[in-house]
Amino acid sequence: MSTHDALPNGKPRIGVYVCHCGVNIAGKIDIGVIIKSVESLPYVVCAREYKFMCSDPGQALIRKEIQELGLNRVVVASCSPLMHEPTFRRVLSEAGVNAYFFQMANIREHVSWVTTDGDAATDKAKALVAAAVRRVVLHEPLERRRVPVNPGVLVVGGGISGIHAALTLANSGKHVYLVERDPTIGGHMAQFDKTFPTLDCSACILTPKMTAVRTHPNITLLTYSEVESLEGYVGNFTARIRRKSRFVDESKCTGCGLCAEECPVTVPSEFDEGLGQRKAIYRPFPQAVPNTFTISHKGTPPCQAACPLHQNVQGYAALIARGKYREALDVILRDNPLPSVCGRICTHPCTAGCTRHRLDDPLNVPGLKRFVADWVGDYELPKPELERPERVALVGAGPAGLMCAYTLRQQGYRPIIFEALPVPGGMLAVGIPEFRLPQAVLRADIERILKTGIEIRLNRPVGKENTLEDLRRDYAAVFVGIGANVERRLSVPGEHLPGVWGGLDFLRQVNLGYSHTQLSKRVLVIGGGNSALDAARTARRCGAEDVTLVYRRTRTEMPADHAEIAAAEEEGVKLIFLTAPRAILGSEEVMGLVCQQMRLGEPDASGRPRPIPIEGSDFTLPCDAIIVTIGQTPDLHGLLERSSPLIARSGVISVDPLTLETNLPGVFAGGDCVTGPDVVVNAMAAGRKAAISIYRFVNGMDLREGREFEGPYRSSIEPDTAGFLVKKPVPMPALPVSQRQGFDEVHTGYTEALAQAEAARCLACATCCDCRLCSKVCEPRAVDYAMPDTYQDVNVGAIVLATGYKTFDPERLPIYGYGRYANVYTGLEVERLINASGPTGGEVVLRDGRTPQKVAIIHCVGSRDLNTNAYCSRVCCMYSLKLAHLIREHTGAEIYNFYIDMRTPGKGYEEFYDRLLDEGTHFIRGRVAEVTDWAITPEEEGRLVIRAEDTLIGVHRRIPVDMVVLAVGLEPQADTEDVRRTFNISCSKEGWFLERHPKLAPVSTFTDGIFVAGACQGPKDIPDCVAQAGAAAAEAMALVDRGHVELEPNTAFIAEALCSGCKTCIPLCPYSAIAFIAEKQTSEINEALCKGCGACVAACPSGAAQQHLYTDDQIYEEIKGVMAYV
């Protein structure tokens, strides 16, 4: 033991002080036994007991004995060191001994309070005291580290607690950053009508404080912002704040509200608890601070993401629904210069993503587009804003070529189109029958495109006269969009016979007006695509009496649009399935078709079942003509003329799918000549894609960068369909079948009323529909659709968390019928109904407009119930009384309160309860069993019936009422867990932020420098929130005002002589506090950065890394000590 005598402050002289803590410790532990066992331990000079060691006399006793007996080490056996360690360390300092020659044995929380058996408790206490005595021998003198404190304070949450804390701190001269995630501060209190028990108007007492926050020079208000991450430690925090884009410049917006008047999108208002509506560009309430509008934009809606052209469907649907057709057309024209065409024949891939699928059927998107194009009728496409000198050649005037030309023209180029046919439009002009797409409509759309300044040369195929090489030479770039015009052949005997038509050839001849297409009686159409149906329906119109479509699979596998199949059948086209042609009979002309029956086999590459012939099942279909519509391939002969080395595979041109560039630089290709026969919208998308590539090519830019989202993709929006009703699509008006002999357009288009009704079905998945009307009316030009989220780092010394609560969701208790019965409301909803600025202007009316005669208020919904929350939410009794009073005042209704216990502790609260009793409000003690609409008596008919037990008179009661108000409890915010992690604090098991001590440190947390205020710490009413916010502000101020903090000296250090330079410790440090010093070949710990976790100490193989206050030796002694009495 002689080594201990040579410790820095001489031979250890230990005083041991055992606290009774009244009976808390002494009632369980035999203190005498402890004293006796301690006295025999080495170096113990004295062992004392006292009733309350932490009291003044207790402290004085220690001080006195340190001086009189020359003690240099002290052990106190009492409560948890988390409670009184600082107290006793101070006693040592006052007596002139270094505060760290002290150790505490926790014999209250860890022994007397948790042990039933007194002897066992005494044994355990003996061991803990012995461990402390053994440990304290090895203690060293330490000094607390002083670090400067940043004077700023961060307040998180802009409810009444956050507002009050921020103002208190700001008034003391500290700079405050107030972060609120909603667009305005005010929190729940702003939603209330009156406050209990004084019935002050909530807004009247809150809004002046909100304004004070806005105008206070010491407050930086960051609304619509969230704390993303937090670094640092007490006195020196750095918070990274994400300033969510509100798409409106806060510094420019004057809050005039013109934008909201213009906005076509209406969604339920969060501020009015869904009882009222707001626009996509909104301000939660007129007194909002800041008085700035915000656009809620969730991203790209699923329809827009799925459209190859990314047309803003939600935008024009919203505008149509509000009768703004011209504006709707402008939205369409942003992406699509062929609205009349696409409005008729687009295969609408957008609707595959439509959220309406979850409820009923998607919107008729093409129908809406057609409506606006037809309704506006005569319009012009925008002209380019600048002219560029480069010329671009396009081959083919189909949808790909037209789209490419239009896009290039909008960029200022002067494209020239070479078209082989006598008419522009490609397949649109010659492959789609008049009754689906009238030629006049097509021509008008194309004319408009050409009028923007695009030259077109008809009857100019690329080939012998005008080769691809010539074009490459003469133009800055070339786009090839020649489509797929060569018909596939059946390759069966007899295909050469007169009366056998190619489907496309047939349609082309009809469309170009040749007269010899009068068909004879019986016509067979082979194929199952849209072209086959077009051919069949055209054949009917060309005089064929009997048209039969022959398809080798079944109806399910037909690639044609299902509406088109139905239309063909209506018009008398017959369908034969599982039938494939084998040979065509006839010598001079067609007599019949030999067919073979098929069956379905395993799926092939296209995912559809492969048709397999059934041997010996041949049969003959008699006919006079056959139309073969089984697909087309591009005609590449002209392009390859004079050996341009353009590479094609499987009959189509090979391109880079990202850029559409061919193997020839500057030559791009897209549409059917690249993909094989495909739909118009894909060809247009390819045309636009090629135009983007050409722009980049001509300007020498990277062709490939940032093009991932040009094609269809999946929207990141997760739309919620809750609360939307099933509404079937408005059928598209069509000619009756009897009138469909000619080539008149079958579908006649929506009327204005029908279009509005259909457009109104849109669920507005993205909220803001990006129609950009608001920016047109905004005079200060505050709207900025490109505004990104920004990040801001703030440096502060302390943080006050006042993140508030959410109300209990009563749908979790189906017995109360919330969400099922229209007239069951939550307390917060009724607050909005009562409020003069609420959705009903302060009228308490039911959803059907009636004024309730009888109202039930059910207490403790989501509180004091083991199935939901065991705790009492503290405010519900009082707000129920307040609502009872206010509803009665507004409506004169009879009010029934169903309560378990009335809890009205507080100044003036019980008096308020008495007042309600006097007013004649009924109070029924008993938990409500259920709310039902199942009437038994005539009086109950059409009402909600409360079934409850009245425990005071001992009977079951049924009380019919018109309105039920659920006094929902308070719950922690849904993202409490994330916030807790960001700020590195703890939560109680219910999820409320955990205070350091429920009585002595109610606003501190276990993380120094972070304080809590308001309902995020537990349910509380406004007075308590404000009081606590003041307390948190005072604590924060006490911290930052001192200018420095003292940190525990429990840092790690490296004993240089022992360090072997293995660097094991370096990657272990989460704070990068350890550096390797090359000259010395040892590690070194930066004490300023070290937080004292000791991870490096535990890992050091040579024992060179050590931790002050927790050295290995001290811990080994403690281990030995706790096992001493085993």
Partner 1 sequence: MSNEHRSESPRPFRPDIVAFFCNWCTYTAADLAGTSRMAYAPNVRIIRLMCSGRIDPQFVLAAFRQGADGVLIGGCHPGDCHYQEGNYKALRRYKLLRRLLKSMGIEEERLRLEWISASEGEKVKRVINEMTEELRRLGPLRLAPKPQARRTRLVPVAGGVP
Contacts of 777 (CB under 8 A, 6+ apart): 258, 259, 261, 262
Closest distance between partner 1 and the C-beta of residue 1034, in Å? 24
Nearer to partner 1, 117 or 447 (CB): 117
Nearer to partner 1, 124 or 854 (CB): 124
Cis peptide before 634 (omega within 30 of 0): no
Whole-number Å distance between alpha carbons of 296 and 245: 9
Whole-number Å distance between alpha carbons of 568 and 228: 59
Closest distance between partner 1 and the C-beta of residue 1117, in Å? 8
SS3 of residue 76 by DSSP: strand
Closest distance between partner 1 and the C-beta of residue 363, in Å? 44
Nearer to partner 1, 758 or 1118 (CB): 1118
Closest distance between partner 1 and the C-beta of residue 245, in Å? 29
Whole-number Å distance between alpha carbons of 204 and 194: 9
- What sections of 843-932 are H helices per DSSP? 876-891, 909-919
Whole-number Å distance between alpha carbons of 795 and 152: 7
Closest distance between partner 1 and the C-beta of residue 1074, in Å? 14
Nearer to partner 1, 599 or 981 (CB): 981
Whether the Cβ atoms of residue 802 and residue 1012 lie closer than 8 Å to each other: yes
| Nearest in space to 17 (alpha carbons), one of 44, 28, 40, 29 | 44
Closest distance between partner 1 and the C-beta of residue 900, in Å? 24
Whole-number Å distance between alpha carbons of 340 and 344: 6
Closest distance between partner 1 and the C-beta of residue 290, in Å? 35
Whether the Cβ atoms of residue 312 and residue 327 lie closer than 8 Å to each other: no
Cis peptide before 197 (omega within 30 of 0): yes
Nearer to partner 1, 743 or 1053 (CB): 1053
Closest distance between partner 1 and the C-beta of residue 687, in Å? 51
Whole-number Å distance between alpha carbons of 11 and 44: 11
Give the amino acid at 1064: T
Nearer to partner 1, 953 or 1119 (CB): 1119
> Going by DSSP bridges, is the β-strand pair 14-19/648-649 parallel, antiparallel, or unpaired?
unpaired
CB neighbours of residue 465 within 10 Å: 10
Nearer to partner 1, 110 or 925 (CB): 110
Nearer to partner 1, 444 or 1068 (CB): 1068
Closest distance between partner 1 and the C-beta of residue 232, in Å? 13
Nearer to partner 1, 120 or 953 (CB): 120
Nearer to partner 1, 569 or 1008 (CB): 1008
Whole-number Å distance between alpha carbons of 624 and 522: 5
SS3 of residue 184 by DSSP: coil
Q: Assign residue 842 a region: left if phi > 0, alpha if psi is -120 to 50, beta otherwise?
A: left
Q: Give me the residues paired with residue 549 across strands.
A: 525, 575
What is the edge-to-edge ordering of all strands in the sheet holding 219-222? 219-222, 176-179, 153-156, 798-801, 1010-1012
Nearer to partner 1, 25 or 471 (CB): 25
Nearer to partner 1, 123 or 1024 (CB): 123
Contacts of 764 (CB under 8 A, 6+ apart): 265, 267, 280, 301, 314, 318
Nearer to partner 1, 44 or 185 (CB): 44
Closest distance between partner 1 and the C-beta of residue 241, in Å? 21
Closest distance between partner 1 and the C-beta of residue 1065, in Å? 11
Q: H or E element: which one contains 697?
A: helix 680-698
Residues that bind partner 1 (CB under 8 A): 1-4, 80-82, 106, 108-111, 113-117, 120-121, 123-124, 127-128, 131, 138, 981, 984, 986-989, 994, 1006-1007, 1050, 1068, 1070, 1091-1095, 1097-1099, 1103, 1107, 1110, 1112-1113, 1115-1120, 1122-1124, 1126
Closest distance between partner 1 and the C-beta of residue 22, in Å? 15
| Nearest in space to 193 (alpha carbons), one of 965, 1000, 951, 879 | 879
Closest distance between partner 1 and the C-beta of residue 116, in Å? 5
Q: H or E element: which one contains 405?
A: helix 399-410
Beta strands in 209-260 (DSSP E): 219-222, 225-233, 236-243
For tokens 């739309």, name the residue. 719
User: First vs last Cα of the chain: how many Å apart?
Assistant: 23
Closest distance between partner 1 and the C-beta of residue 1013, in Å? 19
Nearer to partner 1, 792 or 1064 (CB): 1064
